[in-house]
Amino acid sequence: MKTKIIDRSNCRPVITQAGNSVALKTGSWRSLEPVLLKENCTNCLLCWLYCPDMSVIVRDGKVEGFDMDYCKGCGICALECPGKKGQKAIRMRKEEKE
């Protein structure tokens, strides 16, 4: 990403493209990654609510997986997941990096 050059035409501390930080892929910060075990998931969506990085993907009220472009691997989702009958639906594992 090239930083724009400031001159008199854009010398204004305003960012007009709301939410454009999606261009910054924070997934590279991760050392652990969450893994979803769908069979244990009750779709309570607590993981979605608690994820600080908006990285739990939910479609039609169901957890689909994680957005690895942004997931920082904090593990909150895994720790907070109540799962089914004491069996968590998310666990963290060491990420294999090329």
Partner 1 sequence: MKKKIAVTGNEALAEALRQINPDVCAAYPITPQTDMMQRFSEFVADGLVDTELMLVESEHSAMSACIGASAGGGRVATATSGPGLALMWEMLYVASGMRCPIVMPVINRALSAPLNIHCDHSDAMGARDSGWIQLWSENAQEAYDNMIMAFRIAEHTDIRLPVMVCMDGFIISHSLGIMEFLADDVVRKFIRKFTPHEALLDINHPVSYGPLIVTDQYHEYKNAQNNIMSEVFDVASDVAAEFENISGRRYGFFETYKLEDAEIGIVILNSAAGTCKDMIDEARREGIKIGLLKPRLFRPFPYEMIAAALSHLKVICVLDRSDSFGAHAPLFVEIATSLYNCKQRPVLINRIYGLGGRDFMPEHVSGVINEMIDIAGKKIEIIPKKYISLRK
Partner 2 sequence: MSSSLKIKELSKKEILLAQGHRMCQGCGASIVVKMVMLAIDKPIVACSPTGCLEVTTCISDYTSWKIPWIHSAFENAAATMAGVETMYRSLKKQGKISEDMSFVVFAGDGGTYDIGFQSLSGALERGHDMLYICYDNGAYMNTGIQRSGATPFGASTTTSPAGSAVPGKIHQRKDITRIMAAHNIPYVAQASPSHHLDLMRKIQKALSIEGPKYINILSPCHRGWRSKPDDAIALSRLAVNTSFWPLFEIENGKTRVTYIPKDKRPLREFLRPQGRFAHLFQPENEWIIEKSQAKIDADWSALLAEGACEAIEE
Does residue 65 interact with ligand SF4 by CB under 6 A?
A: no
Does residue 37 interact with partner 2 by CB under 8 A?
A: no
8 A C-beta contact, residue 94 and residue 30: no
Helix (H, G, I), strand (E, B) or coil at 47: helix
Does residue 41 interact with partner 2 by CB under 8 A?
A: no
Fill in the per-residue mask, 7 to 26: x = in contact with partner 1 (CB under 8 A), - = not in contact.
xx-xxxxxxx-x--------
Choice from 35, 65, 83, 91 touching ligand SF4 (CB under 6 A): 83
8 A C-beta contact, residue 84 and residue 42: yes
Q: Which of 69, 2, 65 is nearest to 34 (CA)?
A: 65
Q: From CA 39, how far away is CA 84, in angstroms rounded?
A: 8
Name which of 5 and 23 has its Cβ closer to partner 1. Answer: 5
Which residues bind to ligand SF4, rule: CB under 6 A? 34, 41-47, 51, 53, 55-56, 63, 66, 71-77, 81-83, 89-90
